[in-house]
Structure 1
Amino acid sequence: MKKIKNPLLILLALFGLLSFAAFIFIQTLKPDYEGEKQLLNLSDEVSVYYDSYGIPHIYGENEEDAIRTLGYVHAQDRLWQMELLRRVASGGLSEVFGSKLLSTDKFFLSLGIDEASAKTIERREPTNRTIRLTEAYLDGINQFIENGPTPVEFYLTGIEKQLFGLKDVYNSIGYMAFSFAMAQKTDPLLTVITNKLGPEYLKDLEIDVDKNTEWIKNYKSAPEDSKEAQMVASISKALKNLPIPQLEGSNSWVMAPAKTKSGKVILANDPHIGFAQPSVWYEAHISTPDYEKYGYHMAGIPFPILGHDRNLAYGITMFENDDVDFYYEEAHPTDPKKYKTKEGWEKYEIVSNLIKIKDSADITFSYGKTYHG
């Protein structure tokens, strides 16, 4: 019995030590909700009060200090969420999750969000107030990255923390804008339905499409292997494994003071966004002598997408307007590098990107651009 008992005791002791070490390790990764922090580049002291719901209330002497502090507290709660969101538009998900996200990375790179973000930054005015406050927010995030604990997700995936920049903010906003572009997903599908089942089918779906003004049949439609069907399939595949929920629509309404019991305006806003853990929204309150806002932020975006103060409130909604145009380009019969324009045959502008893939070799992804996009 002793020969059996002793190994069991050793195993139990090892298990206990490992459990204790894991507990200590996890405790060191938790955000700090009390005490003092030395944050660089503050012009005055900033106080952060967390209420019973864990919502930070940030009180500063000026807006820049308060926004810089928001960046720090936002990062200590949501750095991994920020990391994923900024990777969507830049084709960086395969580096975290492997080749199963490759089609998603290719799709978002080909949309050109990352490219547009870079061009926008080149045209920015450094003295612009919005840019200045955004950079203060990024400074708060980066101070947490450099001095705060590393969230456990980075250890689990083997990803190194990297500092945030302006392009990450624009890319996050760009992804949010894409998720509002319903035509990207619905227009090709409606074309497939029309070609296969006829325009009367759309009327049964209560989709009012005026064929006299919107339908110009200038190509031969094919069944399941049509370009539209291929596009629908490719978009569905790209979005299927996306680890970040999308804004799938929204609605809102306002009641005038004359129609409310209180005699004040009532605003209701319902953005349709997928559920996530942690929540997509980060609730925070900022108060300074010159500025106050209580609102809901998205990861890596310094200003609340939905919010209110003591005088006004605002939300976000979308219109089901025709926001995207699709074009068929006629390929050159012998030279695949060219397409037809009104002025003759032109070469595609080739855009190349390096995609890093976890546990695999990097690949170069190239796509062609026309003057349509």
Structure 2
Amino acid sequence: MSKNQVNGDVDHDLYKLGFGTRALHAGQEPDQWNSRAVVPPIVMSTTFAQFAPAVHAGYEYGRSGNPTRNSLQKCLASLDKAKFALVYASGLATQANITQLLKEGDNIVAGDELYGGTNRYFRTCAAKFGISIDYVNFSKPENVERALKSNTKLVWFETPTNPLLKVTDIEAICKIVKKFNSDIIIVVDNTFLSPYFQSPLNFGVDIVMNSITKYINGHSDVIMGSISTNRSDLHQQLKYVQNAVGAVPSPFDCFLVNRGMKTLALRMEQHQKNALAVAKFLEEHPLVRKVIYLGLKSHPQYDVIKKQCSGFGGMVCMYINGNLETVKAFLEKLKLFTLAESLGAVESLVEVPSIMTHASLPPELRKELGIDDTLVRLSVGIENTDDLIQDLDQALKYANSL
């Protein structure tokens, strides 16, 4: 095993290859394993024999480093077109590790619409350590410019957002922030589009994070998060925190994600095909008041989407005419869309953000954002397109008949 392979350095010649090819081969080279196994082995050992005191083959202890985890990190870096990547036990563990870069008195400027768990961590955990958080609408860059302060050290936003799919002009935000203070760390949560449809690092971002639980793994059987960056200083700091805090995923979970990523390109294409068809169908349905989808020209940031995204993803939001009881009747009748939290897996899921994923938000904030009881979020899976549309149609007709 070469030094570069042990350290997980990325072969930048891979960037000349297509996304699907990189997803299959980056970090998977058979000659890095003594057995020359084509599929990276699951290395479960928690400790590694040393040649002499402090002289080892790149691994000392499972929390500090693991061959299966390094294989995954190398592949993720390639997909994000990054020099470095690190994985964590969950998306929220990733957020917590990034926040560890700050100190008491620092300020975070964050998107006003975030995943409920992200918002909860900032409001109830990070705030305990003397870190202030200001929330603004990132779809309007001037809002961010007004919010920046002398003690702002971190800018954090999702694009598209969860659940209302608001889109931020990443390049515009990066120019504003770096002009104000080049030392501010910019983080983009890229979970909803995955590296397949959006590459935030291309637009000046310092760190791109993903909830691997969603599209990257894609099979609803792993909880994990990741960061990718081109900055060696941030990589070294975060690698230190990853080891010091210990929020690392198991080798078996890393193996599952390595396997899931091999079909990411294929899955994202089918997610998009289905979601676009579903969104167009829902736009014409009399029980649906409004549809939000990145691939519809009615999306308010459609021009930005076309500029920075190579696709539209599989997330669709709709407002149903009626009330919560109407929504519950609709959900009760669905057969193929499973009522469950999470998103981005092969099966189609449906949820009501106001009382599920975003219930932890203060009621006044939900109202301000437009997250009411008639908002339904669809994670459109990879089933047959017509079957999904028929399922939605019969459930909507049932709800409308009551």
- Greater relative CO (CA pairs within 8 A, separation 6+): 1
Same fold judged by TM-score > 0.5?
no
Structure with larger Rg: 1
- TM-score, normalised with respect to structure 2: 0.23
TM-score of the superposed pair, with normalisation by structure 1:
0.24
